[in-house]
Amino acid sequence: MIVAALLVLLAATVALMAAPDRFRGRSAAGLGAAASALTFVLLALAWDGKASTSGEVDVAWIDVLNARFHLGLDGVSWPLALLTAFLTVLCCWWLARSGAGPAPSARFVALLLVVEGSSIGVFASLDLLLFFVFFELALIPMWFVIAYWGDPKDQAGRRRAATRFLLFTVTGSAVLLVGIVVVAIEAGSLQIADVQGTHSVLAASLIAIGLAVKVPIVPLHTWLPDAHGKAPTVGSVLLAGVFLKLGTYGLIRLDVQMLPSATAEIAPYLAAAGVVGIIWAGLVCLVQDDLKRLVAYSSIGHMGFVVLALATMTEAGVTGAVFGSVAHGLVTGLLFFLAGGLKDVHGTASLTALGRGLYERTRWFAVALLVAGLATMGLPGLAGFWGEYLSLRGAYEEGALDRSLAWTLLGVATIGIVLATAYVARFVRMLLQGEPTPIDTDRDLRARGVVVALVVPILVLGLWPTLLTDLLGSGVMGTSLLGVGR
Amino acid sequence: MIRRWPYVALTAVVAVAVAIWAIPELDQRAFFGYVPTNATPTMLPSLSLDTRVLPDSAKVMLLAAGVTLLVQVYSTAYMGKDRRYRSYALLIVLFLVAMIAVVATDNLFVLLIGWEVMGVCSYLLIGHWWEQPQSRAGAMKALVVTRFGDLGLLVAIVVIGQTYGTYSITGAWVGAADQGQQHGTAIGLLVLLAVVGKSAQVPLQTWLPDAMPGPTPITALIHAATMVAAGVYVFARLLPLYGNDTTVMTALAVVSGVTMLLAALFALVQHDLKRALAWSTVSQLAYMFAAIAAGAADVGISHLVSHGAYKALLFLGCGVVMHAVGTSALSAMGGLRTTLPATFWTMTIGFAALAGIIPTVGFFTKDRVLESIHVATHGETPLPGGVAWALLVVAYVTVFVTAAYAMRLWMLTFLGLPSKQHVEPPSMTWPLVALGVACLALSIGEPLDLDTAALSTLVALAGIAFAWWRQDADLPGPVQRPLAAELGLDHPITRLIPAGTIGVARVADAADREGIDVYPRGGAVLAGLVSSAVRALQTGRVQVYASVIAVGAFVVVLVGVIAR
């Protein structure tokens, strides 16, 4: 099933690349949406319970290195793979419907499908080398997406942002690769299940640092606001909704689950870095003028909660990390659709340039932004809350941290929730409320279906969290990987 | 034209459903023999629709449903010409549902969801007229301050979940009854933080008066009768988890004592009717907390219900006055006795209830609060006797001040010479009459303690006499000025903390743009240096290469020889 899903994407990509003239505008986006929807269905069907590895494929690949083409999904990776396919469907839908910004071209859609396919590959890989290959494969198309289809008004800026993104992440990948090599040498295998339990603090640290660039963990985050500021709308959505998840997923899978004893030794540093990120990002958000940069920084804050959660290495914490990742994909995806949509319509995402009184001028944009804002500040009853709650719960249980540190981090992290409330209230006050100042380019939201398609799962997961938490629990991957350190 | 009655009908349906649900529970007895339904405690979140309606819950639910219905009827006239009537009316319905969830649920997460949804409804409704700067500012302040308090409830739920292994309130009660109150101090202080924020007690009191730019019916509903009082209810609901803890009860007594007197004094010096009533709400909420601190949670809930009725009446009456006069400034009022007769008579009942004059319900419930504090001075409750005595004295002083400001507001609004004719739309006066009747009818069957009644009536009459003596004169300058400035208590929340945070945020933003990039830039410079150094070696002259090779070979040989 997983292979079939990947082949669907490959076939669609090849078709789009081979005959770019056949697929112009909406038909390219339509093909992309159809292929991604089919992928979503195939991945959904692949699930056969949390007790076993779903859709497992294991064939010889590179014998010399002992690397195998080994794919499979479990409760941690399956929701993230589904999220990836779902967001790509919405991206293609948006391209076909939004009616603003650059017209969708076949090559652009093909690049999105490559990003999607390689990300699903990362989530499904059970072989370290295969993981790394997919991980790298996702990077290159994103460079093209930002550099060629980014901010149409600032060609030099988007190139610079794209290159910066590439250099940062490639450097991170290099460190990650060294970490993987160290593990492979120590354990004599590349299969995640075989390697599990190796004690190598060096490897755990290298993997954590390499992935920290991707998550991103403060202070390795400076590529992110630039990349989001210049990326096209759907590029931002995939960057936030999918790319950052490669990092958090890698931390869960390769560090917390694969190298638990070694990760427990670096967990305090990870947790502290996560909490620093929450506060740092919350503060910076309070003074941002560019809405896309603001959302980018808010992402860093959410990722801080995820990192705190997984660093506790408790059942609640790791569940919270997965929940936070999925919820962030939906909530920040929605925010980037809206912020990017505003930028596509008006040519700028600056709060001062956009003016005030959006409630009056473009009602749908305003209401959707309000809902997304409430979700991003972690309102209970919406999806964003549960990741934060479980993160705090994990910290309260201490897990791999000692009590004084864990409780201090818990207290500091809650301040991040107040900061999030303040920055949401600030942009509502500056942009949505106020004496309306209409401008010529005012035009209301077109692709309302995309917004509804995101709000519904945000509400459903917010009111019915067990839908996702029931996939997890102890016993993922056949061993009691979760709950280490208790 | 916007259709307005469908929203009233929708609210009526909800209210009737609540009545059918809640009325049979009024006589039910609370019991602790309940076995939680989820036998396997989970550490992961689990929402359940289990409800648990005790008699006090039923009273609060009926109050919320009743006031909401009256406010919807009233709003058809008060907000009838508003362009955003639909979102306004729907938010009221959403608010009612959230309030019912808070009151009725047995699940801590449903409680939290309702609690925060009420906060968001309050935020959106304060900002209903978002063209006005003071509405925007008040709304943002209310949201941020109450969310700060809500962190207490969030962390309290973390602690309760970990301590008792369940998110069922009844389950936690059973746990606390079986094993004693675990982590009572921590849980109690965290919940206290939450209710101090939501119920606008010191030191988080200032958001409530600043919420007054919202529509007046909203003030009556959310910022007087229900949401702010939900803090009292939730504290009482979770009391079995920390009720024996001296620290928590002392902290609650201190907070309530300071708040009741300060807020009453602030109300005494206001020149704006609505803001004075807002401070009065803060002060009355403190009475309810004082009753809980004295160990009489049911007395606190009784005062909650009684206050909900008379304060909703006063605010809705204030709305009629504002509708007629066009402002809430006391200086523009006076003489409305003859021009707004229905408002005058009903608000007179409301002010009498606020001042605690027999036979209104406010008299009875306030007396029971005083009596319960008096009982607590015997030292049989977790509250230390000395603290209870101090609280009792403060409470009597507050009775004096409350009677004085109620009398003053009543005189300034209604007495004097009439200015011009005004109209009272019937859909606005009928809710007033209903609430006025409730203020009298609810006192039927209330118990009476003669000593307390005599003393409190004397004190209240003294307050009324004081107000009559002063007429519309301000207090002496050295007292009036700091009180009118509300002692500058708002300064840290409105100025210092935001300014400090924004300052730090600017530094962080600048550091983020310029500072943190040092290492990638350093990396780029280093790479440049290395590449130019390497380029310098690549001269393209064979002689240099040959020399380097020769020297290198010599060094290698030398090292090899020495190493052996």
pLDDT digits 0-9 by tens, A118-171:
999 999 999 999 999 999 999 889 999 999 888 888 888 889 889 888 988 999
**Do residues A281 and A217 touch, judged by C-beta distance below 8 A?**
no
Residue B329 backbone phi and psi in degrees, to 5? -75, 130
- DSSP annotation string for A88-146: HHHHHHHHHH---SSPPBHHHHHHHHHHHHHHHHHHHB-BHHHHHHHHHHHHHHHHHHH
- Assigned domain for A171 exists: yes
Residues B216 and B308 in one domain: no
Contact B506 A465 (CB under 8 A): no
- The residues in A 174-203 lying below 8 A from B, measured between CB atoms, are none
Please give the span between the terminal C-alpha atoms of chain B, in angstroms, as a whole number. 103
Q: Identity (one letter) of the amino acid at B396? A: Y
Nearest CA in chain A to B111: A380
Identify the weakest region by mean pLDDT among A52-56, A144-148, A182-186, B255-259: A52-56
Residues B267 and B415 in one domain: yes
What pLDDT does A434 receive? 87
Please compute, for residue B57, the number of CA atoms within 13 A of its CA located in the half-sphere on the CB side.
Answer: 23
Q: Is A11 on the interface with B (CB under 8 A)?
A: no
How many whole angstroms separate alpha carbon B300 and alpha carbon B303?
Answer: 5
A436 min Cα distance to partner chain B (Å): 8
How many whole angstroms separate alpha carbon B322 and alpha carbon A264?
Answer: 64
Contact B512 A414 (CB under 8 A): no
Question: Comparing C-alpha atoms, which of B428, B312, B435 is closest to residue B77?
Answer: B428
**Do residues A142 and A115 touch, judged by C-beta distance below 8 A?**
yes
Residues B240 and B250 in one domain: no
Contact A463 B47 (CB under 8 A): yes
What pLDDT does A129 receive? 92
A17 min Cα distance to partner chain B (Å): 35
pTM reported for the whole predicted model: 0.90
Residues B468 and B526 in one domain: no
Is residue A481's pLDDT more than 50? Answer: no
pLDDT tens for A407-465 read 999 999 999 999 999 999 999 999 999 888 888 888 888 888 899 999 999 999 999 88
Please compute, for residue B548, the number of CA atoms within 13 A of its CA located in the half-sphere on the CB side.
Answer: 9
Domain boundary among B199, B214, B244: B244
What pLDDT does B187 receive? 94
Nearest to B44 among A396, A463, A469 (CB): A469
Nearest CA in chain B to A420: B144
Q: Is B506 on the interface with A (CB under 8 A)?
A: yes
Q: Is A418 on the interface with B (CB under 8 A)?
A: yes
Question: Comparing C-alpha atoms, which of B397, B352, B407 is closest to residue B370?
Answer: B397
- Inter-chain CB pairs, A–B, below 8 Å: 121
Contact A389 B43 (CB under 8 A): no
What pLDDT does A477 receive? 37
Count of structural domains, chain A: 1
> What are the b/e assignments for B540-558, b being 16+ CB within 10 Å?
eeeeeeeeeeeeeeeeeee
- Assigned domain for A429 exists: yes
Residues B132 and B184 in one domain: yes
Among A94-108, A388-402, B326-340, name the most confident range: A388-402
How many whole angstroms separate alpha carbon A398 and alpha carbon A158?
Answer: 43
Judging contacts by C-beta atoms under 8 Å, the chain B residues touching residue A393 are: 43, 158, 161-162
Domain boundary among B484, B509, B524: B484
Domain containing B475 equals: 246-484
- Assigned domain for B490 exists: no
Contacts of A22 (CB under 8 A, 6+ apart): A106
- Assigned domain for A482 exists: no
How many whole angstroms separate alpha carbon A278 and alpha carbon A308?
Answer: 9
Q: How many distinct helices (H) and strands (E) make up chain A?
A: 21, 2
The ipTM value here is 0.91
Residues B224 and B322 in one domain: no
Question: Comparing C-alpha atoms, which of A241, A295, A248 is closest to residue A420?
Answer: A295
Contact B516 A316 (CB under 8 A): no
**Do residues B300 and B289 touch, judged by C-beta distance below 8 A?**
yes
Q: Is B130 on the interface with A (CB under 8 A)?
A: yes
What pLDDT does A453 receive? 93
Mark residue A21 as left, alpha or beta (left: phi above 0; alpha: psi -120 to 50; beta: remaining).
alpha
**Do residues A260 and A485 touch, judged by C-beta distance below 8 A?**
yes
Residues B272 and B392 in one domain: yes
Residues B472 and B391 in one domain: yes
Nearest to A422 among B116, B131, B144 (CB): B144
Count of structural domains, chain B: 3
Judging contacts by C-beta atoms under 8 Å, the chain A residues touching residue B129 are: none
Contact B140 A466 (CB under 8 A): no
Element (H, E) at A58: strand A54-62
Site from B82, B130, B521 to mutate, A interface, most A CB atoms within 10 angstroms: B130
Q: Is B475 on the interface with A (CB under 8 A)?
A: no
Residue the block writes with tokens 């009292």: B232
Q: Identity (one letter) of the amino acid at B323? A: H
Is the preceding peptide bond at B382 cis, omega within 30 degrees of 0?
no
Question: Comparing C-alpha atoms, which of B221, B156, B137 is closest to residue B195?
Answer: B156
pLDDT < 70: residue spans in chain B = 1-2, 28-44, 515-517, 519-520, 563-564
Residues B267 and B355 in one domain: yes
Question: Comparing C-alpha atoms, which of A226, A220, A257, A206 is closest to residue A75?
Answer: A257
Identify the weakest region by mean pLDDT among A323-327, A374-378, B515-519, B543-547: B515-519
How many whole angstroms separate alpha carbon B221 and alpha carbon B229?
Answer: 10
Q: Is A374 on the interface with B (CB under 8 A)?
A: yes
Judging contacts by C-beta atoms under 8 Å, the chain A residues touching residue B45 are: 386, 389-390, 465-466, 469
**Do residues A342 and A425 touch, judged by C-beta distance below 8 A?**
no
Residues B318 and B186 in one domain: no
Is the preceding peptide bond at A219 cis, omega within 30 degrees of 0?
yes
A33 min Cα distance to partner chain B (Å): 34
Please give the span between the terminal C-alpha atoms of chain A, in angstroms, as a whole number. 36
**Do residues A223 and A169 touch, judged by C-beta distance below 8 A?**
yes
Site from B509, B516, B519 to mutate, A interface, most A CB atoms within 10 angstroms: B509
Is the preceding peptide bond at B203 cis, omega within 30 degrees of 0?
yes
**Do residues A195 and A187 touch, judged by C-beta distance below 8 A?**
yes
- Assigned domain for A63 exists: yes
The radius of gyration of chain A from alpha carbons, rounded to an integer in Å, stands at 21
Is residue A475's pLDDT more than 60? Answer: no
- DSSP annotation string for B159-206: HHHHHHS--BHHHHHHHHHHH--TTHHHHHHHHHHHHHHHTT-TTSTT
What DSSP character marks residue B232? Answer: H
Residues B31 and B77 in one domain: yes
A32 min Cα distance to partner chain B (Å): 36
- Assigned domain for B491 exists: no
- Assigned domain for B227 exists: yes
How many whole angstroms separate alpha carbon A399 and alpha carbon A267?
Answer: 10
Question: Comparing C-alpha atoms, which of B311, B254, B306 is closest to residue B282?
Answer: B311
How many whole angstroms separate alpha carbon A445 and alpha carbon A428?
Answer: 17
- The residues in B 178-237 lying below 8 A from A, measured between CB atoms, are none
Nearest to B505 among A167, A283, A473 (CB): A283
Question: Comparing C-alpha atoms, which of B307, B291, B330 is closest to residue B223?
Answer: B307
Please compute, for residue A98, the number of CA atoms within 13 A of its CA located in the half-sphere on the CB side.
Answer: 27
Q: Is B97 on the interface with A (CB under 8 A)?
A: no
pLDDT tens for A259-293 read 888 888 999 999 999 999 999 999 999 999 999 99
Using CA atoms, how far residue A181 sits from A128, A210, B449, in Å, is 9, 13, 83
Judging contacts by C-beta atoms under 8 Å, the chain B residues touching residue A392 are: 154-155, 158
- Assigned domain for A483 exists: no
- Assigned domain for B157 exists: yes
Judging contacts by C-beta atoms under 8 Å, the chain B residues touching residue A219 are: 516
B139 min Cα distance to partner chain A (Å): 9
Nearest to B136 among A386, A392, A433 (CB): A433
List, in sequence order, every beta strand (DSSP E) within A398-463: none
- Assigned domain for B314 exists: yes
- Assigned domain for A298 exists: yes
Q: Provide the token pair at A368.
A: 């959707």
Contact B154 A316 (CB under 8 A): no
What pLDDT does A328 receive? 95
Q: Is B147 on the interface with A (CB under 8 A)?
A: yes
Nearest CA in chain B to A316: B44
| Helix-, strand-, coil-residue percentages of chain B, each rounded to 5 | 75, 0, 25
Judging contacts by C-beta atoms under 8 Å, the chain B residues touching residue A288 are: 509
Site from B82, B91, B158 to mutate, A interface, most A CB atoms within 10 angstroms: B158
- Assigned domain for A485 exists: no
How many whole angstroms separate alpha carbon B355 and alpha carbon B378?
Answer: 27
What DSSP character marks residue A223? Answer: H
Give Dmax over CA atoms of chain B in angstroms: 118
Angle separating helix axes A77-97 and A106-124, nearest 10 degrees: 170
Nearest CA in chain A to B136: A429
Residues B129 and B240 in one domain: yes
Domain containing A123 equals: 2-477
Length of chain B: 564
Judging contacts by C-beta atoms under 8 Å, the chain B residues touching residue A273 are: none
How many whole angstroms separate alpha carbon A208 and alpha carbon A214?
Answer: 10
Q: How confident is the model over A313-332, as a mean pLDDT? A: 92
How many whole angstroms separate alpha carbon A131 and alpha carbon B39?
Answer: 42
Domain boundary among B244, B269, B302: B244
3-state secondary structure of A69: strand
